[in-house]
Amino acid sequence: MNIKIDIDKSKLEALRCYMPAEQNIEEEIAKVINEAAATAVDKLYSKHVPKAVQGFIKRSAALRSDKKKKDENI
């Protein structure tokens, strides 16, 4: 999924002035945004997806993971 975010140019310029030069501002912003988005999705998932469905998805993922591990050991 792609999401467009408008960022205040003056705040971005201030970040460029005050963040350490060795840090990549675009990577840092992307990291923070991705963490916030993951938290938001988890919160909405927990709120709206029935517990039984959550359990089914979790078990299905575990089974796929176990199968993949077995296939790698062959």
- At residue 31, the pLDDT reads 96
| Helix H or strand E encompassing 27 | helix 25-48
Task: Give tens-digit pLDDT for 49-69.
Answer: 999 999 999 999 999 888 777
pTM, 2 dp: 0.71
Task: Give tens-digit pLDDT for 18-45.
Answer: 999 999 999 999 999 999 999 999 999 9
Per-residue pLDDT at 70 exceeds 80:
no
- At residue 52, the pLDDT reads 97
Closest by Cα among 14, 51, 28 to 36: 28
Judge contact between 28 and 7, C-beta under 8 A.
Answer: no
* Residue 3 main-chain phi, psi, to 5 deg: -130, 135
